[in-house]
Structure 1
């Protein structure tokens, strides 16, 4: 029984040619949310801050930056 001939090659759900554009786009969106969070923290005092808004903006910033770094690492050839 020769398993090498019967096995199916794994195909990634995302085309590796789209890694550069995905990483740049996701990192740009993440930097936007990160800068929005920093500006919000600097310009508001402790009485006008809203915890829900802080958590929501920081969640989206970390989500987009995390996936952007993941696709950046995949782009340079470090397969994780």
Structure 2
């Protein structure tokens, strides 16, 4: 469960809640409500990374630069043959 604070009145699971109410909801519900602007995560809590983001170890150290495994060098290219 994930703790959120409502930024506007909202009905959750059939129960009406006022602005400022603190709720404990499933992670996917919390992410939806925060994305929709209805709530915010309780201080100190953050949204988990989306599943399609690569782990930090696979990300480039400098933004905009390719990861080392993706770099190519001249030795990677096939050598031309002459007949």
**TM-score, normalisation: structure 1:** 0.27
- In our comparison, the structure showing a higher alpha carbon Rg is 2
- Whichever structure has more strand as a proportion of its residues is 2
Higher RCO (CA-CA < 8 Å; seq separation 6+): 1
- Whichever structure has more helix as a proportion of its residues is 1
